A and B are shown apart, each in its own frame.
Chain A
């Protein structure tokens, strides 16, 4: 399904997938496909999630104790593995978000106002 729109999509920065997954679980539990869909939707279809990288990432986050998982049923009655954020994961998300904001702001400052980009 390669459309013209795909050209404007951006690959994820290294290491940001973890943070985005954690963020998507803030409101409540979700399964892998739902998480990927949510990231894509909320980024206005700019961020492209490599589905092949998503599941190992989920496993890794669970190994770190940031998320938990269990089998459940999706809204359209499909079997799916649902992930929830742990307390530790919430703390990690706050930390990473803070750090990201700082870095993002700093990079913006270095790059200067948008008009200059020309």
Chain B
């Protein structure tokens, strides 16, 4: 027969076979036939002697109610396919019920595969695919600059101002800067996350306040104190009062007028910590040295809306021209400008997690492939025993088409049962996923099973049905079924083909499982390496917290003295070992400030840049950062004392490679050179992993906070016991000194570190789960193939034993078969994994993507599982009674 062609062409012939059924007659064609009948019958009656009218009437009468006849025709055609389908489904369900073991294994296998995929897709959908909740979100872009040493995601206000007034490519462009506020006078004082925004930010997003007016251009001028509230804040603090607009509230001790309330659900920017209020950037301009006037202070994130028809590269070029001009005009601050980068705003928000999520989706796709291979293999082995059934059905008059359709119906039934159960798993699994999801994954709150996810699951049902059902259906339905009857249901050439196909499937499964296991093992190794990483300080028993003193009542000097008194009191508190303050706290933020070394003057754009930290007395001691040379900052290092600094080991090595840094002087030059003093290096301290545990350790220099009190401190308290127990003590100390000041960001250092490795943990756990699923399914597949082959070879095994083979030999025979299949799979898997784990390299830490130890360990695990999976059927084979087995034929 010509049916031995490649699988693809056979599949096509199957499709055309099913699709091009008898051309259906139209309703009109049938009505025409009835009219023709009337004409013919009337002719006959006229010939028999009737008048024209009589003949027509008689013919009509004899035909009966024409509408009724046409209805019968319509009904017959309308229901025939449904009738067939119902029969197929009913028969299919009966078949599935008759083999509950087979059905359960197949449905559960598919449900695991489809459920895991659907859950993962719901995360991808919510995080990566769903458009931003603003008007025409595809026009929104984020604007960043390429500067000397990399990409700066933020821009200074003066530069932004020039972009805004000089560009030709944006219909609008807005800047925003995160800032937190303490709201007093409305219930308990509360610390609120907020944003400074340029006046037209909300217009750009296409959002209007639900109440009141938005910001106006004049709100960017000094003197304006307008604030917009989030809907949630309006509800919780202002009792949803519709007359709240125009009222004054106190933020950080200053009076602001409520300009409006944003609609419920509005969020900007999209981040883990949702802004509760927005103020225009005017308030900052009132300070002595406003950041918004400083061209070197890159503070603002920039979002813009492209004019219709303008491409990203056109916009990049346009802004590039402006920026190059600025670089020429302001070489001190903008000299290192290299260009601007535009990217879709959505990409900017989710870009950091995109790769990890796509890798996980790919991994979970492997799990589904393995599941399909398992079910295909199950169907094939069941198919062999159903050959006879099919042959009988064909002999009894069922067309081949009907048989194939029957088999496909069963396949689809399995796949839909699996999808149904899988969806339940997905709903549950998504909930579990969300609990595992770190806050660093943006938009994770939007994840859920929605229409698109359902559609995905249904599509998966069909795709999987084709993947696991096509081969068995083609095998079973091929012509020449009669031979199956003649040979007593055992066609030897068929059996051989089936065996090869099943072996191929199980080898593929093992290879896929190997790749997944290797990936998971690499991530686990990195995670462990991350946990073992020394952060450079002792993170245990540390409590951290922050608060803001009202600027109206506290000058900088008063603030410093308040901090000093508070720290002194904290140190006296029982249970406290030591206490200090710092900004920025390692792991949470990182500041870079350029500096100059005395005696090494360089052009301003070429100045070295290093991490910059302001620390209170006793900081190194409290954090457990080793002092390698010199001394700690003390209370004596105040505004009146000579300016000092301490540098990290990496700093000393890089900038003083062959000399002693002690006593050398450096000058930090943020953007206004000459204003900051020369500082003498009085200490060299150990390096700290300040940009996450997986980050690099760059050079850092420390300045006593008391000599440069610039911004709010974060306090750190080292406890003698559990740091959590100190929270209430700290609160009461604070309340006794200054009531009505809320503490915020109260957390232990260990919690901070955990959140810093949360993404790694998420990736590791998920890939671990997927790999375990893959391993389980591959083991089931191996077990199925080996035990099926044992049942087919009972006769042969009996014969061998009758001829003197020992149980040991049978064991070797059966287990050997499993091991050969698995080791072939592992071989292919190693090759595949070498290719695939490269995609993981950015997620790895402290381990290479082709780590040989990992590959060996994974191979060992797979072989051990194979041993168990093939030992079980082997034990059954060893119990074969040669007499029974031989008589069986």
Contacts and interface: CB of A to CB of B under 8 A. Distances in A.
Interface in A51-79: 51-52, 55-56, 59-60, 63, 65, 74, 76, 78-79
Contact of A52 (B33, B65, B76): B65
Contacts of B25: 59
Contact of B37 (A32, A56, A76): A32
Contacts of B64: 50-52
Interface stretch (B67-75, B312-320, B498-506, B863-871): B67-75
B40 A33 contact: yes
B40 A59 contact: no
B39 interface: yes
A78 B44 contact: no
Interface string B50-93: 10000000100011110011001100110010000000000000
B435 interface: no
Contacts of A33: 36-37, 40-41, 44
Interface in B691-746: none
B30 A80 contact: no
Interface in B24-44: 25, 30, 32-34, 36-37, 39-41, 43-44
Contacts of A51: 37, 41, 62-64
A98 interface: no
Contacts of B44: 33, 37
Interface string A3-33: 0000000000000000000000000000111
A52 B41 CA distance: 13
Contacts of A31: 36-37, 40
B45 interface: yes
Interface in A31-56: 31-34, 37, 50-52, 55-56
Interface string A91-103: 0000000000000
Nearest to B399: A65
Contacts of B62: 1, 51
Contacts of A34: 40
B22 interface: yes
A78 B76 CA distance: 28
B58 A52 contact: no
A59 B58 contact: no
Interface in B240-280: none
A90 interface: no
Contacts of A50: 64
A17 B502 CA distance: 52
Given A60-B76, A74-B40, A76-B43, A52 B22 contact: no
A56 B69 contact: yes
B33 A32 contact: yes
Contact of A63 (B34, B41, B76): B76
A56 B58 contact: no
Contacts of B65: 52
Given A52-B65, A55-B30, A1 B73 contact: no
A60 B73 CA distance: 9
B76 A55 contact: no
Contacts of A80: 33, 36-37, 40
Contact of B30 (A1, A59, A74, A76): A59
A76 B43 CA distance: 9
A52 B40 contact: no
B399 to A, nearest CB: 9
Contacts of B69: 52, 55-56
B135 to A, nearest CB: 56
Contacts of B22: 63, 65
Given A1-B45, A33-B41, A59-B30, A81 B36 contact: yes
**A34, A56, A76: most-surrounded residue (chain B CB, <10 A):** A56
Contacts of A37: 44
A4 B231 CA distance: 92
Contacts of A63: 22, 76, 80
Given A60-B76, A63-B76, A55 B45 contact: no
Nearest to B59: A51
B36 A56 contact: no
A34 B76 CA distance: 24
**A32, A50, A55, A65: most-surrounded residue (chain B CB, <10 A):** A55
A55 to B, nearest CB: 6
A93 B44 CA distance: 28
Interface in B549-579: none
A9 B602 CA distance: 122
A55 B43 contact: no
A59 B77 CA distance: 9
Contacts of B68: 52
A81 B73 CA distance: 16
A56 B72 contact: yes
Nearest to A79: B36
A71 to B, nearest CB: 8
Contacts of A74: 40
Interface in B421-458: none
B48 to A, nearest CB: 9
Interface in B589-635: none
A101 B25 CA distance: 34
Interface of B: 22, 25, 30, 32-34, 36-37, 39-41, 43-45, 50, 58, 62-65, 68-69, 72-73, 76-77, 80
27 contacts: A1-B58, A1-B62, A31-B36, A31-B40, A51-B41, A51-B63, A52-B63, A52-B64, A52-B69, A55-B30, A55-B33, A55-B37, A56-B72, A59-B30, A59-B77, A63-B22, A63-B76, A65-B22, A78-B39, A78-B40, A79-B32, A79-B36, A80-B33, A80-B37, A80-B40, A81-B32, A81-B33
The 4 closest A-B pairs by CB, nearest first: A52-B64, A33-B40, A51-B63, A81-B33
